[in-house]
Structure 1
Amino acid sequence: MKKTQQGFTLIELMIVVAIIGILAAIAIPAYQDYTRRAQASELISVAAPVKTAVSEFAVVNGYLPNAGSVNFSSVSTDLVSGVTWNGGSISVTGSGQLSSLTISMDPTLNSGSVTWECNSSGSVEYAPSSCQ
């Protein structure tokens, strides 16, 4: 009587483990890059209240505010070490894995409306595409 094979051989299992290892070696760095990019987008959203305060001041008064003219509560999170308005630009500095990333937003007042230009320095590969 002939015995039929039941289950997998050791070679087959080793091949499957090798394939899973190769896929993990590709997927894990891609996922880490994705999460850093997603975290960097928080830097822009944290600056939104400051952008609103600066825009409102500029529309009401007809000029951009000085460094101390805008009231906003400074935000500090796990990913953001600070937000500052220096009278010409909003600077948001990252913390943790994004500590070398700084996003600056520069306003321009034209005919009663404020437009913003976003720039980044440091780890610019993680900055949103609108700020690179």
Structure 2
Amino acid sequence: MTKQIQKGFTLIELMIVIAIVAILVALAVPAYQDYTIRAKVGECINQAAPAKLAVSEYFQSEGNFAGSEAAYGFDTANSESQYCNDLVITPGTGRITVQSTNTGADVDPGAFLTPEDASGAAYNPTSMSGPINWDCTTNGTGALRHLPATCRQ
């Protein structure tokens, strides 16, 4: 009698491989969805860079924050994009509010960009010194995990 050489895989071996691949996919898809949502929200926060510059320049030249959004010379109405629904500069504080849209999240997240001095304290016109640093925090909309790491505090 001659021995038969086995060729290929058995049905059980193939089923085990398919089960392992299915488990890996089940873990990877939600993580990837969170990553893509975070990237879209990050793009919206980056849209605020010209507004941050306008607020910083106004503060450096005038020594305080403007009493109206229009005084900064930045048109927030034209700052909307595919993933950024709203951008508002709060008069008197320079705080910028961004609200994302079309991110794929159940609730689109938003953030506050708050000007601070070098020590991390809120910028105060009477005690300011040095450049403006921007603190990013959640504005309470959307899941915290959908904000970029710099805004998850």
The TM-score by the shorter chain falls in which range? 0.7 to 0.9
% identity of equivalent residues: 36
Question: Is this contact kept in 1: 2:113–2:136, CA < 8 A?
Answer: yes
Q: Does 1:51 align with 2:52?
A: yes
Please give the alpha-carbon distance, in whole angstroms, between the structure 2 residues aligned to 1:65 and 1:112: 19
* Equivalent in the alignment of 1:126: 146
* Equivalent in the alignment of 2:83: 79
* Equivalent in the alignment of 1:60: 61
1:69 to 55, 68, 71: 71
User: Can you give the 5+ residue segments of structure 1 that lack an aligned partner in the other structure?
Assistant: none
Q: Does 1:6 align with 2:10?
A: no
Please give the alpha-carbon distance, in whole angstroms, between the structure 2 residues aligned to 1:58 and 1:119: 21
Q: Deviations over 1:63-98 (max 9, x none)?
A: 112222012243222211121112132111010225
Question: Is this contact kept in 2: 1:43–1:103, CA < 8 A?
Answer: no
Please give the alpha-carbon distance, in whole angstroms, between the structure 2 residues aligned to 1:2 and 1:118: 71
Question: Is this contact kept in 1: 2:97–2:112, CA < 8 A?
Answer: yes
Please give the alpha-carbon distance, in whole angstroms, between the structure 1 residues aligned to 2:141 and 2:30: 20
The 10-residue stretch of structure 1 (20-29 or 32-41) with the greater mean CA deviation from structure 2: 32-41
Total equivalences in the alignment: 132
2:112 to 101, 104, 116: 104
Please give the alpha-carbon distance, in whole angstroms, between the structure 1 residues aligned to 2:114 and 2:98: 12
* Equivalent in the alignment of 2:97: 91
TM-score (norm 2): 0.76
Classify the secondary structure of the residue corresponding to 1:4: coil
Please give the alpha-carbon distance, in whole angstroms, between the structure 2 residues aligned to 1:9 and 1:111: 73
Classify the secondary structure of the residue corresponding to 1:116: strand
Please give the alpha-carbon distance, in whole angstroms, between the structure 2 residues aligned to 1:56 and 1:18: 58
More strand by share: 1
Classify the secondary structure of the residue corresponding to 1:2: coil
Please give the alpha-carbon distance, in whole angstroms, between the structure 1 residues aligned to 2:150 and 2:9: 52
Please give the alpha-carbon distance, in whole angstroms, between the structure 1 residues aligned to 2:85 and 2:60: 29
